[in-house]
Amino acid sequence: MSGAAFSAIAIAQSYPTRPVRFVVPLAPGGAGDIVARTVAAKLSDVWGGQVIIDNRGGANTIIGTDFVAKAKPDGYTWLLGVQGSLAINPAFYMKLPYDAVNDFDPVTQMTRYGYVLVVHPALPVKRTPELVALARTRPGDLAYGTSGTGGSNHLAGELFRLMTGVKMNAIPYKGSAPALTALLSGEVQLMFDTMITSIPLIKSGRVRALAVSLPKRSPSLPNVPTLAESGVPGYRFDAWQAIVVPAGTPKDIVRRIQQDVVRVLAMPDVRRALVDEGANEIVGSTPEEFGSHIRSEIERYRKLIAEAGIERQ
């Protein structure tokens, strides 16, 4: 074994020797932030060293993502990669300060989340076919709230519109929280929302759940059918949370992070916490599998944006 190879293995075995900065390119409190904090807390216990969450939200995740892209590739700065930062933004923006494929080394996809189609209780529909029928009798009258043009819930709504042929208006807000507030007030009639924020509202009766966006029902909402079950065969729209590091991070350190994160994800208390917060699936992929997933997701969103006639920015 060469001295360089031995040195790399030794570094990986002793890693980490100081606190790790885990950058979350989102505001605190959302699904991605909760996943990051759950995993970081458990890793801190396992390693006996700190994994510190650093929320750097703003500009559709671009600020925090670009910060990590330019960080030193030594294994001590991570990014919570989400489909917005690593797949939708490259498909939607003509120019980004980072390259989602070449500026990062993939580590692992941690979770897969679904969205839930929720409506205001005053809307006279209880199932998706009823919503589609109502939208067809009132073309252009129904509006759905989004976190902004090109955001995840906007694209989920556009996919629904394309697959059902209904005419609805997408109303952009400055984030998912204001869009949800607009739904609660009746300013918009429906929304594709993350389960973590909708589940308490569904349980309290403030919104009505019609369907979830993944091919299989969610363990968090087992009585809510999928859109594929509800007359929209083939519908799939998911969110995911992952870890990437700056390109050039030593491969042995990448492997060490991946192996320990996967070990944490397999712990019953972590799995239970993530499912309770709306995770449909705990993934724990290899770096190679996740790298392939990023590339295929970028192409999927490019196609959707083109078919929906959304102008790239």
Between vectors from CA 248 to CA 47 and to CA 293, what angle results, nearest 5°?
A: 85
pLDDT(119) > 70: yes
Nearest in space to 264 (alpha carbons), one of 105, 85, 21, 51: 51
Q: Where are the beta strands (DSSP E) in 94-196?
A: 104-119, 143-146, 169-172, 190-194
Nearest in space to 239 (alpha carbons), one of 132, 154, 127, 128: 154
In Å, what is the CA distance from 183 to each residue of 113, 176, 188?
21, 10, 5
Question: Residue 2's pLDDT is what?
Answer: 55
CA 298, distance to chain mean position in Å, is 14
Environment class of residue 145 by beta-carbon count within 10 Å: exposed (0-12), middle (13-18) or buried (19+)?
A: buried
Mean pLDDT of 245-251: 98
* pLDDT confidence band for 220 (50 / 70 / 90): confident
| Tokens representing residue 309 in the block | 């006639």
Mean pLDDT of 147-161: 92
pLDDT(10) > 60: no
Question: Residue 3's pLDDT is what?
Answer: 46
Question: Residue 29's pLDDT is what?
Answer: 79
Question: Residue 4's pLDDT is what?
Answer: 44
Share of the chain above pLDDT 70, in %: 96
- Please tell me whether residue 114 adopts helix, strand or coil conformation: strand
Question: Residue 11's pLDDT is what?
Answer: 59
Mean pLDDT of 207-236: 94
pLDDT(219) > 50: yes
Mean pLDDT of 143-171: 93
Q: Tell me the average pLDDT of the chain.
A: 92
| Tokens representing residue 74 in the block | 């030594």
What is this structure's pTM? 0.87
pLDDT(277) > 80: no
The string of pLDDT tens digits covering residues 66-92 is: 999 999 999 999 999 999 999 999 999
Share of the chain above pLDDT 90, in %: 78
Q: What is the 3-class SS of 259-285, one letter each residue?
A: HHHHHHHCCHHHHHHHHHCCEEEECCC
d(CA 233, CA 238): 15
Domains, the chain, in order of start with CATH, read 3-113+238-307 (3.40.190.150), 115-212 (3.40.190.10)
Please check whether residue 122 is in contact with residue 151, taking contact to mean a CB–CB distance below 8 angstroms. no
Environment class of residue 65 by beta-carbon count within 10 Å: exposed (0-12), middle (13-18) or buried (19+)?
A: buried
Please check whether residue 244 is in contact with residue 79, taking contact to mean a CB–CB distance below 8 angstroms. yes
pLDDT(7) > 60: no
CA 130, distance to chain mean position in Å, is 28
* 5-29 burial: b if 16+ Cβ within 10 Å, else e: eeeeeebbeebbeeebbbbbbbeee
pLDDT(115) > 60: yes
